Protein backbone atom coordinates (compact mmCIF):
# COMPACT_ATOMS: atom_id res chain seq x y z
CA UNK A 1 0.00 0.00 0.00
CA UNK A 2 1.33 3.41 -0.95
CA UNK A 3 0.29 5.06 2.31
CA UNK A 4 2.64 2.73 4.18
CA UNK A 5 5.64 4.47 2.58
CA UNK A 6 4.44 8.10 2.54
CA UNK A 7 2.53 10.44 4.83
CA UNK A 8 0.85 12.13 1.89
CA UNK A 9 -0.22 10.64 -1.44
CA UNK A 10 -0.97 13.13 -4.21
CA UNK A 11 -2.95 11.64 -7.08
CA UNK A 12 -3.04 13.91 -10.09
CA UNK A 13 -0.93 15.83 -12.57
CA UNK A 14 0.03 19.38 -13.41
CA UNK A 15 0.40 22.50 -11.32
CA UNK A 16 -2.25 21.71 -8.74
CA UNK A 17 -0.73 18.36 -7.88
CA UNK A 18 2.72 19.94 -7.74
CA UNK A 19 1.53 22.68 -5.36
CA UNK A 20 -0.04 20.10 -3.09
CA UNK A 21 3.15 18.03 -3.04
CA UNK A 22 5.27 21.09 -2.34
CA UNK A 23 2.99 22.22 0.48
CA UNK A 24 3.22 18.78 2.07
CA UNK A 25 7.00 18.72 1.83
CA UNK A 26 7.23 22.15 3.45
CA UNK A 27 5.21 20.78 6.38
CA UNK A 28 7.74 17.98 6.78
CA UNK A 29 5.60 15.19 5.34
CA UNK A 30 6.90 12.46 3.08
CA UNK A 31 5.16 12.56 -0.28
CA UNK A 32 4.31 10.08 -3.01
CA UNK A 33 3.02 11.55 -6.30
CA UNK A 34 0.97 9.36 -8.64
CA UNK A 35 -0.36 10.59 -11.97
CA UNK A 36 -3.07 7.93 -11.95
CA UNK A 37 -4.77 6.18 -9.07
CA UNK A 38 -3.79 2.50 -8.65
CA UNK A 39 -6.93 0.39 -8.98
CA UNK A 40 -6.44 -1.58 -5.75
CA UNK A 41 -6.03 1.53 -3.59
CA UNK A 42 -8.46 4.18 -4.77
CA UNK A 43 -11.23 2.15 -6.32
CA UNK A 44 -10.64 2.79 -9.98
CA UNK A 45 -7.95 3.48 -12.53
CA UNK A 46 -9.17 6.91 -13.64
CA UNK A 47 -6.74 9.70 -14.44
CA UNK A 48 -6.83 13.08 -12.71
CA UNK A 49 -6.20 16.41 -14.41
CA UNK A 50 -4.59 19.50 -12.90
CA UNK A 51 -8.01 20.78 -11.92
CA UNK A 52 -9.14 17.51 -10.34
CA UNK A 53 -6.62 16.12 -7.88
CA UNK A 54 -6.91 13.93 -4.81
CA UNK A 55 -4.73 14.14 -1.76
CA UNK A 56 -4.70 11.27 0.71
CA UNK A 57 -3.29 12.30 4.07
CA UNK A 58 -2.84 9.47 6.56
CA UNK A 59 -5.56 7.59 4.74
CA UNK A 60 -7.97 10.57 4.63
CA UNK A 61 -9.02 11.60 1.12
CA UNK A 62 -9.22 15.33 1.88
CA UNK A 63 -6.94 18.11 0.73
CA UNK A 64 -8.29 20.38 3.49
CA UNK A 65 -6.58 18.14 6.02
CA UNK A 66 -3.27 18.91 4.34
CA UNK A 67 -3.75 22.62 3.63
CA UNK A 68 -6.59 23.79 5.91
CA UNK A 69 -6.55 27.47 4.89
CA UNK A 70 -7.50 26.82 1.26
CA UNK A 71 -10.95 28.05 0.23
CA UNK A 72 -13.30 25.84 -1.82
CA UNK A 73 -12.74 28.10 -4.83
CA UNK A 74 -8.99 27.64 -4.57
CA UNK A 75 -9.44 23.87 -4.42
CA UNK A 76 -11.84 23.62 -7.34
CA UNK A 77 -10.20 25.99 -9.80
CA UNK A 78 -7.84 24.48 -12.38
CA UNK A 79 -4.27 24.90 -11.20
CA UNK A 80 -5.68 26.28 -7.94
CA UNK A 81 -7.04 29.36 -9.70
CA UNK A 82 -5.87 32.45 -7.89
CA UNK A 83 -4.13 30.59 -5.08
CA UNK A 84 -0.82 32.35 -4.38
CA UNK A 85 1.84 30.84 -2.16
CA UNK A 86 5.32 32.41 -2.46
CA UNK A 87 7.94 29.69 -2.04
CA UNK A 88 11.63 29.33 -1.41
CA UNK A 89 13.09 29.13 -4.91
CA UNK A 90 15.54 26.37 -4.09
CA UNK A 91 12.76 24.20 -2.64
CA UNK A 92 10.56 24.81 -5.68
CA UNK A 93 13.25 23.98 -8.22
CA UNK A 94 14.39 20.90 -6.31
CA UNK A 95 10.79 19.68 -6.05
CA UNK A 96 10.13 20.36 -9.73
CA UNK A 97 13.36 18.56 -10.60
CA UNK A 98 12.14 15.51 -8.70
CA UNK A 99 8.35 15.49 -9.18
CA UNK A 100 7.81 17.72 -12.23
CA UNK A 101 7.29 16.79 -15.84
CA UNK A 102 10.37 18.70 -17.06
CA UNK A 103 12.86 17.24 -14.62
CA UNK A 104 16.01 17.85 -16.68
CA UNK A 105 15.17 21.50 -17.25
CA UNK A 106 14.43 22.20 -13.59
CA UNK A 107 17.52 20.38 -12.37
CA UNK A 108 19.57 22.71 -14.56
CA UNK A 109 17.63 25.70 -13.22
CA UNK A 110 18.37 24.51 -9.68
CA UNK A 111 22.09 24.58 -10.39
CA UNK A 112 21.79 28.14 -11.72
CA UNK A 113 19.84 29.16 -8.61
CA UNK A 114 22.51 27.71 -6.31
CA UNK A 115 25.11 29.57 -8.36
CA UNK A 116 23.18 32.82 -7.89
CA UNK A 117 23.32 32.41 -4.12
CA UNK A 118 26.96 31.32 -4.16
CA UNK A 119 27.99 34.36 -6.21
CA UNK A 120 26.09 36.75 -3.95
CA UNK A 121 23.48 37.94 -6.45
CA UNK A 122 20.74 37.26 -3.91
CA UNK A 123 20.44 36.06 -0.33
CA UNK A 124 18.84 32.69 0.17
CA UNK A 125 16.08 34.29 2.26
CA UNK A 126 15.18 36.58 -0.66
CA UNK A 127 15.16 33.81 -3.25
CA UNK A 128 11.36 33.51 -3.41
CA UNK A 129 9.63 32.15 -6.48
CA UNK A 130 6.38 31.07 -8.03
CA UNK A 131 5.44 27.39 -8.23
CA UNK A 132 7.32 27.31 -11.56
CA UNK A 133 10.57 28.68 -10.17
CA UNK A 134 10.25 32.17 -11.70
CA UNK A 135 11.88 34.85 -9.56
CA UNK A 136 12.10 38.58 -9.09
CA UNK A 137 9.85 41.49 -10.01
CA UNK A 138 9.60 40.36 -13.61
CA UNK A 139 9.68 36.60 -12.98
CA UNK A 140 12.92 35.26 -14.44
CA UNK A 141 14.05 31.67 -14.36
CA UNK A 142 17.63 31.47 -13.05
CA UNK A 143 19.06 30.66 -16.49
CA UNK A 144 17.33 33.75 -17.91
CA UNK A 145 18.96 35.83 -15.16
CA UNK A 146 22.39 34.80 -16.43
CA UNK A 147 21.44 35.56 -20.02
CA UNK A 148 19.70 38.89 -19.63
CA UNK A 149 20.03 40.49 -16.17
CA UNK A 150 21.19 44.14 -16.25
CA UNK A 151 22.59 46.49 -13.59
CA UNK A 152 20.67 49.52 -14.83
CA UNK A 153 20.84 51.64 -11.68
CA UNK A 154 24.64 51.33 -11.58
CA UNK A 155 24.99 50.09 -8.02
CA UNK A 156 27.14 47.13 -9.03
CA UNK A 157 24.38 44.53 -8.63
CA UNK A 158 21.96 42.92 -11.04
CA UNK A 159 19.03 43.06 -8.65
CA UNK A 160 15.80 41.83 -10.25
CA UNK A 161 14.25 41.32 -6.80
CA UNK A 162 14.24 44.84 -5.32
CA UNK A 163 15.50 47.26 -7.98
CA UNK A 164 12.75 48.37 -10.37
CA UNK A 165 15.27 49.86 -12.86
CA UNK A 166 17.26 46.61 -12.94
CA UNK A 167 14.13 44.45 -13.27
CA UNK A 168 12.61 46.50 -16.09
CA UNK A 169 15.89 46.83 -17.98
CA UNK A 170 16.47 43.10 -17.63
CA UNK A 171 13.00 42.39 -19.03
CA UNK A 172 13.72 44.73 -21.95
CA UNK A 173 17.04 42.99 -22.55
CA UNK A 174 15.25 39.66 -22.50
CA UNK A 175 12.69 40.76 -25.08
CA UNK A 176 15.45 42.16 -27.29
CA UNK A 177 17.35 38.90 -26.97
CA UNK A 178 14.30 36.97 -28.10
CA UNK A 179 13.91 39.08 -31.23
CA UNK A 180 11.84 42.15 -30.33
CA UNK A 181 11.58 44.57 -33.26
CA UNK A 182 11.73 48.24 -32.29
CA UNK A 183 9.19 50.46 -33.98
CA UNK A 184 6.87 47.57 -34.83
CA UNK A 185 3.58 47.07 -33.03
CA UNK A 186 2.84 43.81 -31.18
CA UNK A 187 -0.65 43.43 -32.67
CA UNK A 188 -3.63 45.43 -33.88
CA UNK A 189 -7.22 44.89 -32.86
CA UNK A 190 -9.34 44.61 -36.00
CA UNK A 191 -12.90 44.37 -37.18
CA UNK A 192 -13.10 41.26 -39.33
CA UNK A 193 -15.21 40.80 -42.48
CA UNK A 194 -18.59 39.16 -41.86
CA UNK A 195 -17.45 36.25 -44.05
CA UNK A 196 -14.30 35.58 -42.01
CA UNK A 197 -13.10 31.96 -41.99
CA UNK A 198 -12.15 31.43 -38.36
CA UNK A 199 -10.18 28.28 -39.17
CA UNK A 200 -7.35 30.44 -40.54
CA UNK A 201 -6.74 31.95 -37.10
CA UNK A 202 -3.45 30.10 -36.58
CA UNK A 203 0.20 31.28 -36.66
CA UNK A 204 0.93 29.20 -39.76
CA UNK A 205 -1.36 31.35 -41.92
CA UNK A 206 0.48 34.62 -42.47
CA UNK A 207 0.04 37.47 -44.88
CA UNK A 208 1.55 40.95 -45.03
CA UNK A 209 -0.38 43.30 -42.77
CA UNK A 210 -1.26 45.44 -45.79
CA UNK A 211 -2.78 42.41 -47.55
CA UNK A 212 -5.08 41.70 -44.60
CA UNK A 213 -6.26 45.32 -44.72
CA UNK A 214 -6.97 45.07 -48.45
CA UNK A 215 -9.13 42.00 -47.74
CA UNK A 216 -11.47 43.98 -45.52
CA UNK A 217 -9.90 43.80 -42.08
CA UNK A 218 -10.19 47.22 -40.45
CA UNK A 219 -8.02 48.46 -37.58
CA UNK A 220 -10.06 49.29 -34.48
CA UNK A 221 -10.56 52.87 -33.32
CA UNK A 222 -9.49 54.16 -36.74
CA UNK A 223 -5.84 53.46 -36.00
CA UNK A 224 -3.29 53.73 -38.79
CA UNK A 225 -0.29 51.42 -39.06
CA UNK A 226 3.17 52.75 -39.73
CA UNK A 227 3.81 52.43 -43.48
CA UNK A 228 6.82 50.23 -42.78
CA UNK A 229 4.56 47.75 -40.99
CA UNK A 230 2.39 47.08 -44.03
CA UNK A 231 4.90 44.56 -45.38
CA UNK A 232 5.34 42.83 -42.02
CA UNK A 233 3.92 39.28 -41.84
CA UNK A 234 0.84 39.05 -39.65
CA UNK A 235 -1.53 36.29 -38.57
CA UNK A 236 -5.13 36.35 -37.43
CA UNK A 237 -5.89 35.75 -33.76
CA UNK A 238 -9.46 35.00 -32.67
CA UNK A 239 -9.10 34.25 -28.95
CA UNK A 240 -12.86 33.72 -28.55
CA UNK A 241 -13.59 32.29 -31.96
CA UNK A 242 -15.94 34.52 -33.91
CA UNK A 243 -17.01 36.15 -30.65
CA UNK A 244 -15.16 38.91 -28.86
CA UNK A 245 -12.22 40.96 -30.15
CA UNK A 246 -10.01 39.92 -33.08
CA UNK A 247 -6.38 40.77 -33.75
CA UNK A 248 -3.73 40.79 -36.44
CA UNK A 249 -0.57 39.72 -34.65
CA UNK A 250 2.94 40.71 -35.71
CA UNK A 251 6.27 39.15 -34.79
CA UNK A 252 6.51 41.01 -31.48
CA UNK A 253 3.36 39.22 -30.32
CA UNK A 254 5.24 35.93 -30.45
CA UNK A 255 8.28 37.45 -28.73
CA UNK A 256 6.08 38.22 -25.73
CA UNK A 257 4.62 34.74 -26.07
CA UNK A 258 8.10 33.29 -25.56
CA UNK A 259 8.10 35.00 -22.17
CA UNK A 260 4.70 33.54 -21.29
CA UNK A 261 2.96 31.14 -23.68
CA UNK A 262 -0.57 32.16 -22.67
CA UNK A 263 -2.35 34.18 -25.36
CA UNK A 264 -4.43 35.94 -22.71
CA UNK A 265 -1.22 36.95 -20.94
CA UNK A 266 0.21 38.40 -24.16
CA UNK A 267 -3.04 40.23 -24.85
CA UNK A 268 -3.02 41.68 -21.34
CA UNK A 269 0.57 42.90 -21.56
CA UNK A 270 0.22 44.23 -25.10
CA UNK A 271 -3.10 45.94 -24.37
CA UNK A 272 -1.68 47.52 -21.22
CA UNK A 273 1.20 48.97 -23.25
CA UNK A 274 -1.32 50.38 -25.73
CA UNK A 275 -3.42 51.96 -23.02
CA UNK A 276 -0.44 53.78 -21.56
CA UNK A 277 -0.53 55.82 -24.77
CA UNK A 278 -4.24 55.51 -25.61
CA UNK A 279 -6.70 54.87 -22.75
CA UNK A 280 -9.40 53.33 -24.94
CA UNK A 281 -10.40 49.73 -24.24
CA UNK A 282 -10.87 47.07 -26.90
CA UNK A 283 -13.38 48.27 -29.46
CA UNK A 284 -15.11 44.88 -29.45
CA UNK A 285 -15.79 43.65 -25.91
CA UNK A 286 -15.38 40.08 -24.74
CA UNK A 287 -18.57 38.06 -24.99
CA UNK A 288 -20.31 36.34 -22.10
CA UNK A 289 -19.85 32.83 -23.51
CA UNK A 290 -19.49 30.07 -20.97
CA UNK A 291 -16.11 28.36 -20.97
CA UNK A 292 -16.32 24.57 -21.00
CA UNK A 293 -14.50 22.65 -18.30
CA UNK A 294 -10.98 21.40 -18.94
CA UNK A 295 -12.10 17.76 -19.12
CA UNK A 296 -14.76 18.63 -21.71
CA UNK A 297 -12.23 20.39 -23.95
CA UNK A 298 -9.90 17.40 -23.56
CA UNK A 299 -12.72 15.15 -24.79
CA UNK A 300 -13.13 17.39 -27.81
CA UNK A 301 -9.39 17.35 -28.50
CA UNK A 302 -9.31 13.53 -28.40
CA UNK A 303 -12.21 13.34 -30.83
CA UNK A 304 -10.59 15.88 -33.15
CA UNK A 305 -7.32 13.94 -32.96
CA UNK A 306 -9.04 10.69 -33.97
CA UNK A 307 -10.59 12.51 -36.92
CA UNK A 308 -7.19 13.81 -38.02
CA UNK A 309 -8.17 17.44 -37.48
CA UNK A 310 -5.96 18.13 -34.45
CA UNK A 311 -2.33 17.16 -33.98
CA UNK A 312 -1.25 19.08 -30.87
CA UNK A 313 -1.22 18.07 -27.21
CA UNK A 314 -4.29 17.12 -25.20
CA UNK A 315 -4.32 19.84 -22.56
CA UNK A 316 -7.93 20.95 -22.17
CA UNK A 317 -7.16 24.46 -23.38
CA UNK A 318 -9.03 26.13 -26.23
CA UNK A 319 -5.89 27.43 -27.92
CA UNK A 320 -5.39 28.52 -31.51
CA UNK A 321 -4.99 25.02 -32.96
CA UNK A 322 -7.92 23.63 -30.98
CA UNK A 323 -10.19 26.45 -32.13
CA UNK A 324 -9.16 25.99 -35.75
CA UNK A 325 -9.74 22.22 -35.56
CA UNK A 326 -13.18 22.81 -34.04
CA UNK A 327 -14.00 25.10 -36.94
CA UNK A 328 -12.95 22.39 -39.39
CA UNK A 329 -15.20 19.90 -37.57
CA UNK A 330 -18.10 22.35 -37.68
CA UNK A 331 -17.60 22.84 -41.41
CA UNK A 332 -17.45 19.10 -42.08
CA UNK A 333 -20.66 18.45 -40.12
CA UNK A 334 -22.62 21.50 -41.34
CA UNK A 335 -22.74 23.13 -37.92
CA UNK A 336 -22.48 26.82 -37.17
CA UNK A 337 -18.82 27.66 -37.73
CA UNK A 338 -17.60 29.78 -34.83
CA UNK A 339 -14.37 27.97 -33.82
CA UNK A 340 -15.42 27.93 -30.19
CA UNK A 341 -15.88 24.91 -27.87
CA UNK A 342 -19.53 24.85 -26.84
CA UNK A 343 -21.71 22.25 -25.20
CA UNK A 344 -23.67 22.00 -28.47
CA UNK A 345 -20.56 20.95 -30.40
CA UNK A 346 -19.56 18.53 -27.65
CA UNK A 347 -23.06 16.99 -27.71
CA UNK A 348 -22.83 16.59 -31.49
CA UNK A 349 -19.48 14.81 -31.17
CA UNK A 350 -20.82 12.46 -28.51
CA UNK A 351 -23.99 11.65 -30.48
CA UNK A 352 -21.98 10.88 -33.62
CA UNK A 353 -19.58 8.71 -31.63
CA UNK A 354 -22.49 6.80 -30.06
CA UNK A 355 -24.02 6.22 -33.49
CA UNK A 356 -20.85 4.64 -34.90
**Second-level CATH architecture of 294-355:** Orthogonal Bundle (1.10)
Q: Domain residue spans in the chain?
A: 2-80, 87-177, 187-277, 294-355
CA distance linking residue 289 with residue 356, whole number of Å = 30
Assess whether the region 87-177 and the region 294-355 belong to the same CATH fold. no
**DSSP secondary structure string, 118-179?**
HTTSS-GGG-EE-TT--BTTTTB-HHHHHHH----S-SS---TTT-HHHHHHHHHHHHHHTT
CATH number for the domain formed by residue range(s) 87-177:
1.10.8.350
One digit per residue, pLDDT tens: the chain, 356 residues?
Answer: 333 444 555 655 555 555 666 665 555 555 555 544 433 333 333 333 333 334 444 444 444 443 333 322 222 222 333 334 367 888 889 888 887 778 899 999 999 999 999 999 999 888 888 878 888 888 899 999 999 999 999 999 999 988 989 988 999 999 999 999 988 999 999 999 999 999 999 999 999 999 999 999 999 999 999 999 999 999 999 999 999 999 999 999 999 998 888 898 899 889 988 998 888 999 999 998 888 899 999 999 999 999 999 999 998 889 999 999 999 999 999 999 999 999 999 999 999 888 76
pTM: 0.72
Amino acid sequence: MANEVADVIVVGAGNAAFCAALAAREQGASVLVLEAAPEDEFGGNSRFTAGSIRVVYNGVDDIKTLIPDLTPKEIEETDFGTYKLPKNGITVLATQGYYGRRKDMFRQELLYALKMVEEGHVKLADLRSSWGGAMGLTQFLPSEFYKYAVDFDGDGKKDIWKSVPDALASAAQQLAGKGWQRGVHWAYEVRVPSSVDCTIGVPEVTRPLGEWLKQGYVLAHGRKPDPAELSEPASLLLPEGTYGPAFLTLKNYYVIKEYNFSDLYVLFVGHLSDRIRDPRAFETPWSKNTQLRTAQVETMQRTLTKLGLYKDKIDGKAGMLTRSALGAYQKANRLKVDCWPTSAVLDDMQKRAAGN
